[in-house]
Amino acid sequence: MAAARLADLAVIIRSKNAGPYRLTFDVLLPDAATFKRVKASGVLGRESVAKALSLKPVEVTSLFELKSAHAFKVTIRRQVGQSDIGESDVYGCQQHVPLMELLVA
């Protein structure tokens, strides 16, 4: 199978605040087979997500898989606490784009 952009496989890719000090990313795939394929590729693992977001792996605070929802969830420390000096996205809802470009084998 040719590699595909995550954006071409997923039904939802989004970012949002999870409280003022965390930013959480949700990726929902359409079915069990695609979920399995993305899982096997490792693109939503700690190292890969940290690299896509120019972060150190330790700044990824948690990773969850929800098999029943064909979903992945990755949460990172916010670089700037919500609305502290240097804020650029109060709701944290426009930080998902680097995940769209991840290449899934």
Partner 1 sequence: MTPITVLAPTGTLGYGFGADALKRGMDFKPGVIAVDAGSTDPGPHYLGSGEVLVSRFSYKKELTELMAASRAAGIPLVVGSAGGSGSRPHVDFLVEIVREVARDLRLNRFKLAWIYADIEPARIKQAIANGEVKDFEAGFALTADLVDSSTHIVAQMGFEPIIKALQSGADVVIAGRACDDAAIAAYPIMQGGHKGLAMHMGKILECGAFSAVPFAMDVMMGFLKGDSFELEPGSVGRRASLTSVAAHTLYERENPFDQHGPGYRVDLHDCRFEQAGERRVRVSGAKFIPESECWIKLEGARQMGFRSICVAGIRCPTMIVRIDEILAAAKEEAVRYMKPHDVQVTFHVYGKDGVMRALEPQKKVASHELGLIIEVVASEMDLAHAACHHISGGLLHTHYKGQLNTSGNLAFPYSPSELDAGPAYAFSAYHLMKVRDPYETFPIHYEDV
Q: Nearer Cβ to partner 1, position 67 or 105? A: 67
Classify residue 26 as exposed, middle or buried by CB count within 10 Å of its CB (0-12, 13-18, 19+): buried
Q: Nearer Cβ to partner 1, position 102 or 104? A: 102
Q: Nearer Cβ to partner 1, position 80 or 105? A: 80
Helix boundaries (H) for the chain: 6-9, 32-41, 46-52, 97-100
Footprint on this chain of partner 1 (rule: CB under 8 A): 11-12, 16-22, 24, 26, 28, 52-55, 61-62, 64, 66, 68-69, 71, 73, 75, 77, 79-86, 88-91, 94-95, 97-98, 101
Given a contact cutoff of 8 angstroms between Cβ atoms, the answer to whether 15 and 24 are in contact is yes
Q: Nearer Cβ to partner 1, position 41 or 95? A: 95
The CA distance from 53 to 68, in Å, is 27
We find the least distance from the C-beta atom of residue 88 to partner 1, in angstroms, to be: 5
We find the least distance from the C-beta atom of residue 76 to partner 1, in angstroms, to be: 9
We find the least distance from the C-beta atom of residue 1 to partner 1, in angstroms, to be: 23
**Torsion angle, alpha carbons of 67, 37, 74, 10, to 10:** -90
